[in-house]
A and B are shown apart, each in its own frame.
Chain A
């Protein structure tokens, strides 16, 4: 059963705490991405990785960190430095080729609420 999994589906944290969101894919895709979605807005790119052990900042990387130690996994840490972390976080993957952007396939998302 190929696909992208994200966990947990819902996450609640207190302000000041770091939190890590999981993303795993078994599609054998080289590239993986993290987006956040806020009501009424398009998806915004946080980080992406087109190859293991390498990743690049997207448009809104401040307050976030990632790692890509395995092809299948791309966890996102939301740090306490992120000023407005409450959002819907979506992980995606695609075939990869340097600087070529193919259609992306999304996981089910994690809804993070920070109070």
Chain B
């Protein structure tokens, strides 16, 4: 089993839609969690840090479920500019472990 697993997608959604991605992790001792956004052929950029049960920033909400070992990212009112790959990142105490990413395409 991979340490961090994400559905690769792509998720194709219309503008204005709400979309959610899940990410599962295998190490129950994981201590902190992050979502990064990566545009095509660019570097990842930090979107949100998730240190407790969840975090909200504008249209973006991240939730953590330690019992089931997953984190989710919810995007409300999707914009064309949200189109990107979203990386789930888990701090397992030894290093940051990156998922392969979920592709989101928002269409007009």
Q: Mark A60-103, 1 if CB is under 8 A from B, else 0.
A: 00000000000000000000000000001010000000010101
Smallest Cβ-Cβ distance to A33: which chain B residue: B96
- B100 at the binding interface (Cβ < 8 Å): yes
The residue from A42, A44, A101, A109 contacting B4, defined by CB atoms under 8 A apart: A42
Segment touching A, from B13-21, B39-47, B54-62, B67-75:
B39-47
Q: In the complex, which residues of chain A have a beta carbon less than 8 angstroms from the beta carbon of B46?
A: 103-105
Q: A103-B46, A106-B44 are in contact. Are A41 and B100 (CB under 8 A)?
A: yes
B42 contacts across to A, CB distance below 8 A: 108-109
Chain A binding surface SS class? loop
Distance in Å: Cβ of A4 to nearest Cβ of chain B: 9
Task: Say whether B8 contacts A103, CB under 8 Å.
Answer: no
Contact with A along B59-92 (1 / 0, CB 8 A): 0000000000000000000000000000100010
Question: Are B99 and A90 in contact, CB atoms less than 8 angstroms apart?
Answer: no
- Per-position binary interface string of chain B over residues 89-103, scored 1 when its CB falls under 8 Å from any chain A CB and 0 otherwise: 001011111111100
Q: Is there an interface contact between B96 and A101, defined as CB atoms closer than 8 Å?
A: yes
Indicate whether A43 reaches chain B with its CB closer than 8 angstroms. yes
Q: Is B32 at the interface (CB under 8 A from chain A)? A: yes
Contacts of A58 in B (CB 8 A): 95
- Minimum Cβ distance to chain A for residue B102 (Å): 12
Determine the residue in chain B with the shortest Cβ distance to A91: B43
By a beta-carbon cutoff of 8 Å, the part of chain B in contact with chain A is: 4, 8, 31-32, 34, 41-46, 49, 87, 91, 93-101
The 7 A-B residue pairs with the shortest CB-CB distance, nearest first, are A42-B98, A106-B43, A43-B98, A42-B100, A101-B91, A109-B43, A108-B43
